[in-house]
């Protein structure tokens, strides 16, 4: 077991060595005097808090690492605050037809990480609506305006403007679960947010396959 020491208002404290990444840029963070800018023991919780400053000039942000005391061992790493900002990256084909889908989806991811379980499901539902409407508008350019209209309901758009069977069937089910996230009572009681995410992901993959097939068949006639 490797340890290192930091000085606090209660003297030097032993910390069990751990791997830590900056929650902003997701790069590894060295344990050094230059990166640990303050160490503090919170009286109430008795947790040790280390304020880290990311040395990378492109990041240059701070975060707090929280530690719990373990008898005969020392302080053990618990978590960082803010939580790790993990962004889900979507393939180029998806970004090109719907840049907003990725933004909304990632806002839902952040709200889920913050434990906002009533909100994140609605966010995933909204991301699905953007993805489906943008894809349907791309495939049916002559009626793109109608598809994107406020009064065009997601279910109707899937039914009327998605011709690809697998996309239609997965998107339809994602929409069903998405609607459950916005209503007072659930219709699909044995399904949850993970099923919704899985169905959105499946829809994304089918759309990507369709777009890639289109691209290669038009490039290589
Ligand atoms: Zn950083």
Give per-residue pLDDT as tens, 64-122: 999 999 998 899 988 788 777 678 899 999 999 998 999 999 999 888 877 677 889 99
- Residues lining ion ligand 1 (Cβ < 5 A) are 22, 24-25, 54, 59
pLDDT at res. 167: 96
58 and 152 both lie in a single domain: no
Q: Tell me the CA–centroid distance for residue 23 and ligand 1, in Å.
A: 7
User: CA-CA distances (angstroms) from residue 126 to 19, 83, 106, 185, 189?
Assistant: 36, 24, 11, 19, 20
Based on the structure, what is the number of domains in the chain?
A: 2
205 and 112 both lie in a single domain: yes
Between 185 and 98, the higher pLDDT residue? 98
Question: Tokens 């618990």 map to which residue?
Answer: 78
164 and 63 both lie in a single domain: no
Is residue 86 assigned to a domain?
Answer: no
Q: Is 12 helix (H, G, I), strand (E, B) or coil?
A: strand
Domain boundary among 81, 115, 136: 81
142 and 65 both lie in a single domain: no
Q: Tell me the CA–centroid distance for residue 103 and ligand 1, in Å.
A: 21
Between 170 and 83, the higher pLDDT residue? 170
Q: What band does 155 get if pLDDT is binned at 50, 70 and 90?
A: very high
Q: Tell me the CA–centroid distance for residue 182 and ligand 1, in Å.
A: 36
Is residue 197 assigned to a domain?
Answer: yes
Domain coverage including residue 98 = 92-219
194 and 159 both lie in a single domain: yes
């Amino acid at each position: 077991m490797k340890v290192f020491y930091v000085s606090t208002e209660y003297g030097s404290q032993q910390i069990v060595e751990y791997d830590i990444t900056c929650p902003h840029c997701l790069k590894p963070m060295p344990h050094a005097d230059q990166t640990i800018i303050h160490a503090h023991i919170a009286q109430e919780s008795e947790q040790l808090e280390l304020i880290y400053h990311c040395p990378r000039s492109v990041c240059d942000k701070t975060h707090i690492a929280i530690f719990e005391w373990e008898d005969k061992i020392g302080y053990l790493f618990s978590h960082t605050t803010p939580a790790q900002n993990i962004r889900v990256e979507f393939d180029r084909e998806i970004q090109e037809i719907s840049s907003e889908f990725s933004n909304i989806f990632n806002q839902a991811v952040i709200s889920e990480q913050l434990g906002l379980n009533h909100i994140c499901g609605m966010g995933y539902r909204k991301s699905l609506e953007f993805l489906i409407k943008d894809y349907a508008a791309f495939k049916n350019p002559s009626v793109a305006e109608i598809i994107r209209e406020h009064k065009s309901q997601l279910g109707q758009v899937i039914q009327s403007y998605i011709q690809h069977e697998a996309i239609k069937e997965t998107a339809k089910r994602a929409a069903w679960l998405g609607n459950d996230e916005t209503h007072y009572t659930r219709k699909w009681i044995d399904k949850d947010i993970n099923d919704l995410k899985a169905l959105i992901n499946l829809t994304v993959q089918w759309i990507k396959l369709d777009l890639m097939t289109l691209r290669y068949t038009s490039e290589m006639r």
